[in-house]
Each structure stands twice: as structure tokens, then as C-alpha cells.
Amino acid sequence: MFVSEIVPLGPRILGFDMLEKLDDATARVFATLFAYGMRYVDLVEGTTALTLDPDELDVFARAQIPLVTCQFARTHGWSLAMGRNDGAAAARNHLALALPGDGSLTCDLEGKIASAQQAIDYGSAWFEASTSEGMDPQAVQLYVGEGIPLTGVQLENDLPFHGYCRSGSDVPDVFRRGYRMIQLRPLDQVVASRNVDLQVIQTDYEGGRPRWMRQGGPVAPLKG
């Protein structure tokens, strides 16, 4: 069973963000290098070849690597309706894995979004739908990616999120609150023959930190 906890205080904590599934051999290496990992849930309900599933959760548990989840980014069609659909699917996929509702789940917002209002509509609807499905409002986060046509003041005042993740792109600082997670440059690093982005966790200006999820009981050892 996975339980959530506020990421402990201390030095900035290095993690990996990977689109591929984690296997036991890679996990054995990553456990010596990283404090946590970020893995993905889909835009529609269910799991696919690339999304987090129960077998991969077992890998994280055996390696004793905490994790946070993120939904794949939408590439087109941002709207209130799509925000509701995506937020609901993200929460259902997260919770269907028996992950705690107060563990961090991130909305990845990036792309050629036409207007500030379109970004605000989508993000606000995503937040409302994900929390309506059972996610803790303090646990859901927004990844501020390339192309979001919002200022730092709009990110803080016009969206309901309580936590923000800064991408490695040129994006504004979130007014007052700042960021809980920061993606490091250069992007697309190769570690143990796997493509990853690197992230660090910090305390934002309002005292917020992510809640990672870790195995809460005995587990079988890593295979091999």
C-alpha cells in the first residue's frame, strides 16, 4: 500500500521525470541517484504501454523510490469541457492505482494555447474535476510549460492551484507563491541508458511542498 507524506525538509531533492516505464534494473541504479520519480497517467481512463500501472508501482515499491504522478500534456483542444474531461481522467487513473488522494498529481499545461482565457478555463476546470473525483485540493499541482500565455500574476490569481512546477522553458515566476518543483536544464538527460528530465523539490514562498507517495509496508526485494 502506498502512503503519502510531505516531502521532508532539507537540501533540494533531486528526482527524475521519465516517459518510459521503470524496470527493476533501472530502478536499482536510480535508487542510488534520485530521491523520487515522476511518472504519468493518461488523458483518458485506463493504462497504456507508457503509463503508470500496478506492475510498475511494484518496481517503485521494491526499489523504495517515492513517486509523484503527472498527466500527459494535452497538445490541442484546450477548453472548459476538455479541462473537465482531463482532470476527471487524471484523478480516476491516479486513484484506480490505489494511490492516495492526497499524493501529488500534476496537470501538465503547455503548448500553443491561443489565449490567456483558454488557459485559465482549461486549468480551472481540470482542478475542479480532479478534486471532485477525490483528489485533495492541496495535492494537485500545475506544471507551467512552454507556451502558456499567462503572467505570473495570472497564474497566482486566476487559477485555483495551490502548488506549481516550473518547466525548463522560459516561463514566468508565480507571483507571491513561487514554485514547489523546478525542472532543471539541460533537458533530456541520459541516465542508465534512459532518457529523463531532472527536477528538484523546494519549499515555495507560502510554505508549500509536494506530497510524494511511497510504499508503506514490507515489499519483496528487487528482482535479479
Q: Supply the pLDDT for residue 107.
A: 98
Strands 181-183 and 164-166: parallel
Strands 164-166 and 140-144: parallel
Q: Supply the pLDDT for residue 10.
A: 81
Preceding amide of 186 cis, omega within 30: yes
- Cα–Cα distance between 204 and 150 in angstroms, integer? 19
Q: Give me the average pLDDT of each 10-residue run along the chain (224 residues).
A: 93 91 97 97 92 97 97 97 98 98 98 97 98 98 96 98 97 97 96 97 96 79 55
Q: Supply the pLDDT for residue 47.
A: 87
Can you identify the CATH homologous superfamily of domain 2-215?
Answer: Glycosidases (3.20.20.80)
Question: What are the extents of the domains in the chain?
Answer: 2-215
61: Cβ contacts below 8 Å, ≥ 6 apart: 2, 215, 219
Task: Confirm if 35 and 15 have CB atoms less than 8 A apart.
Answer: yes
Q: What is the pTM of this model?
A: 0.94
Q: Supply the pLDDT for residue 197.
A: 98
Cα separations in angstroms, 105 against 114, 157, 188, 224: 25, 21, 22, 31
What digits encode the pLDDT tens for the residues 10-67?
877 999 999 999 999 999 999 999 999 999 999 999 888 899 999 999 999 999 999 9
Q: Which of 90, 31, 41 is nearest to 214 (CA)?
A: 31
